[in-house]
């Protein structure tokens, strides 16, 4: 029998901790995985104690996922290289602005045949336009990457509410293994091959959920966004899977994001807002909106994506949040 796979979760924020709850529990009861799941924790002092010590003694990430116990086999490790060097499976779940630094730290120090799976929502700007975060990680570390994306809210998943998610993985065996690591009776996983489509639909959320759905229905989203030439026509349902699910839970997201956007529009900066409202969690939407805006501008596509444009204008140019509604009412795909 093959040696049990060692798993490292790279990240320990809100989503990282919710996933640690699942991965820890699954690893503890599945002999395919090593019992100990290491979780890299960006060390910080919380209530006078090191966060790693709190997690390892109290089994709770009191800062990023308070009120939820983590399985005792999840071991918080403050040293990134120590946490990741022996891992067969690396679960990347950090805010996307830290990806470059994290990869540079572990480059050449991890197993060359490790499998990576990115749960990170966001995009990077490459010389030819949009670049997927999983491609950034793959290029930097030289490991095979998959992705997991869905309309998943960390606290709902940690509460064991019923949620669905999609793994995009080119290799069927890897997909099966990753599904075994991630799926529970309330967190249902579908595996598809088109990892790039899954990632782009997961990353371009909020306004984009709607816009991508509309455009995807016309088979156009891939032409505009996907950096690789995946045939979309035959895979329309798969393309819609992660974003359609996102549309299924708009109230929470829109309320949160709108409240946040409105506040940015009136007085607070994004950084102030993160501190004030999110207790250190990182808002990913505005950064993604800025990157997407630049790409659309560069490609002269702003007219075709008024919702992306509206999110950008509200976040960065002080436009009122109500502009978003008139964009929805007058979207060119409805006219
Ligand atoms: N929270 C969710 O509900 C959710 C759901 C799906 C996907 N995601 C995605 O998962 C990814 C991680 O999000 P999250 O919610 O776990 O994070 P978060 O915003 O809750 O936490 C921020 C994390 O960044 C770490 N950090 C702070 N400064 C750092 C630095 N200088 N270097 C490295 N790390 C630093 C903190 O320790 C913390 O672990 C994001 O891409 C997000 O879009 C989140």
**Looking at 205, 262, 297, 299, which residue is catalytic?**
205
Name the closest-CA residue to atom 31, ligand 1: 98
pLDDT score recorded for residue 215: 52
The C-alpha atoms of residue 173 and residue 181 are separated, in whole angstroms, by: 13
In the chain, the domains with their CATH numbers are: 5-205 (3.40.50.720), 257-330 (1.10.1040.10)
Give pLDDT, residue 139.
96
Say how many C-beta atoms besides its own lie within 10 A of residue 98's C-beta: 15
Res 228: pLDDT:
47
pLDDT of residue 264: 52
Identify which of 11, 165, 182 to mutate to test ligand 1's pocket (most ligand atoms within 8 A of the CB).
11
Quote the ligand 1 centre to 64 CA distance (angstroms): 9
CA distance 92 to 259: 28
pLDDT for res 46? 97
Cα–Cα distance between 304 and 220 in angstroms, integer?
A: 11
pLDDT score at 259? 52
Q: Residue 235 has what pLDDT?
A: 45
Q: Tell me the mean pLDDT per 10 residues along the chain, length 335.
A: 94 98 98 98 97 98 98 98 98 95 98 97 77 95 96 92 91 97 94 87 60 45 45 43 38 44 55 71 74 84 81 80 73 65
2 CA to centre of ligand 1 in angstroms: 33
Residue-level pLDDT at 247: 35
Residue 30 assigned as binding residue: no
Known catalytic membership, residue 205? yes
pLDDT at 286: 73
């Amino acid at each position: 029998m093959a040696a049990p796979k060692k798993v490292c979760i790279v990240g320990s924020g809100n989503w990282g901790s919710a996933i640690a709850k699942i991965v820890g529990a699954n690893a503890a009861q599945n002999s395919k995985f090593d019992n100990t799941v290491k979780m890299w924790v960006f060390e910080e002092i919380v209530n006078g104690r090191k966060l790693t010590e709190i997690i390892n003694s109290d089994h709770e990430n009191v800062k990023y996922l308070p009120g939820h116990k983590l399985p005792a086999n999840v071991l918080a490790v403050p040293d990134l290289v120590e946490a990741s060097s022996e891992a067969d499976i690396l679960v990347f779940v950090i805010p996307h602005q830290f990806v470059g630094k994290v990869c540079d730290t572990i480059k050449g120090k991890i197993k060359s045949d490790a499998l990576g799976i990115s749960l990170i929502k966001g995009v990077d700007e490459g010389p030819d336009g949009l670049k997927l975060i999983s491609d950034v990680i793959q290029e930097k570390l030289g490991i095979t990457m998959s992705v997991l994306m869905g309309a998943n809210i960390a606290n709902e998943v940690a509460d064991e509410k019923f949620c669905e998610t999609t793994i995009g993985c080119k290799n069927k065996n890897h997909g099966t293994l990753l599904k075994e690591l991630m799926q529970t009776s309330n967190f249902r996983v579908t595996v598809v091959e088109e990892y790039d489509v899954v990632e782009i639909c997961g990353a371009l959320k909020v306004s984009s959920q709607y816009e991508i759905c509309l455009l995807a229905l016309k088979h156009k989203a891939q032409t505009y966004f996907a950096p690789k030439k995946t045939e979309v026509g035959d895979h329309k349902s798969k393309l819609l899977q992660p974003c359609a699910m996102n549309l299924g839970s708009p109230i929470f997201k829109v309320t949160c994001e709108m409240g946040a956007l409105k506040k940015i529009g009136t007085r607070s900066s994004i950084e102030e807002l993160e501190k004030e409202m999110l207790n250190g969690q990182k808002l990913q939407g505005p950064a993604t909106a800025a990157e997407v805006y630049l790409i659309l501008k560069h490609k002269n596509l702003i007219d075709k994506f008024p919702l992306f444009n509206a999110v950008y204008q509200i976040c960065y140019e002080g436009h009122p949040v109500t502009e978003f509604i008139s964009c929805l009412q007058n979207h060119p795909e409805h006219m």
